[in-house]
Amino acid sequence: MASEANNPALRSWIEVETNSHFPIQNLPFGICRSPAGGDLHVCSAIGEFVIDLAALDEVGAFDDTPVAGTEVFHEPTLNAFMALGREAWSATRQALSQLLRDDCDELRDNTELCGRALQPANEIELQLPVDVGDYTDFYSSREHATNVGTLFRGADNALLPNWLHLPVGYHGRSSSIVVSGAPVRRPQGQTRPDDKQPPVFGTSNMVDFELEMGFFVGPGNVLGKPVPVGEAEEHIFGMVLVNDWSARDIQKWEYQPLGPFLAKNFATTVSPWVVTLDALEPFRCRGPEQEPRPLAYLQCNDGAFDIALEVWLTPDGATATRICESNFRYLYWSMAQQLAHHTVGGCNLRTGDLLASGTISGQTNGSRGSLLELAWRGEEPLSLDSGEQRSSVQDGDTVTLTGWCQGDGYRIGFGECSGQLLTAH
């Protein structure tokens, strides 16, 4: 079913620009509220329109799929739909694809239904798509880990002994995950700017972004029963862009010996559209060669996807500057390896859990996925098109992440993951 919906020759009766992130081959899932208000519903996107799946479900559009009779599209989050599993996700996407094809008039010629089910995207309020239970942030980019290790420990000790043997990660804070467009407050906490003096309390002066991607867990696993790496993707509903904001000065003081705390728990921004693995399948590729070879429970092939990534920084009232170009395929540890490692000790993942990649950096200076790296810890401030310089995110700055897979005449995109930094309380 996925391969039919992925046909690059498909066209919709809804006009879609060539560079749109949401052609008929994508059909991501999200949560929206209609312009008139009312309940939240599950939705999809095509071109410049949002599709209310609850409205389509009410007229039997999904009666031949596993979602029939479940009313999951009337839920205020994607969780109930995600729990149904990959067969339901694929069948829903296939049914939606059929309705939107240029040779299908079932929806196109039903003016009343089109009025209820299709709304201009600029009139729709998109919400956080998932009720996130637990959030895990990995550290899976070798280039990023090497850059950060070099900055803080020197080039000879950049990668710690465990890094090439397992996907390093830590548990983050799910309550402060926000959807794109929500403002972010500059955090406060303890720092120790002078190693010879006691720590001080105050506002962070080194707020940073982190270019990441994350995936949501669909069906979970039973406590004590690990998920084999070869079955891991059956538990992955889809992917989003992630900006895991960081306060570097707070992090430097607090992270030893247990890791980030206040430096990371004040905000994490995610994009509103969840792109399924089915839609991404044509862009699957091999990731970096893994040497030494991972232990048996982590061995898998072709777990990467060719997803071009960009970061734009916009000072308040000024023009935007593209400050980073990277790619998801650079990650050393794949999503399947991350999920398998997360559960190998018996941990039970649950529907709606978010697992993020960690900062995605490449080998060139322009592909570094954080300001810490781009400005090399402040030694090489970044010049913006506005004439300003940045070593950290300033109040009023808006950071925007975007990403897409480039097909033959179409893109499978993620939209934007954007947030503006506000002054501290």
Distance of CA 237 to the CA centre of its chain: 12
Q: Which of 21, 41, 74, 144 does the annotation list as catalytic?
A: 144
Which amino acid makes up residue 238? G
Using alpha carbons only, give the angle 265, 267, 269 rounded to the nearest 5 degrees: 135
CB 101 within 8 A of CB 24: yes
CB 361 within 8 A of CB 367: yes
Cα distance between residue 32 and residue 265, in whole Å: 26
Q: Is 41 among the catalytic positions?
A: no
The 3-state DSSP class for residue 207 equals: strand
Task: With beta carbons less than 8 A apart as the criterion, state whether 420 and 398 touch.
Answer: yes
- Cα separation, 329 vs 244, whole angstroms: 19
Q: How far is CA 78 from CA 43, 71, 121, 273, 380, in A?
A: 9, 12, 19, 11, 43
Distances 133 to 47, 68, 176, 236, 350 between C-alpha atoms, Å: 31, 26, 11, 15, 7
Q: 115, 1, 109, 8: which is closest to 51 by C-alpha?
A: 115
Report the catalytic residues: 144
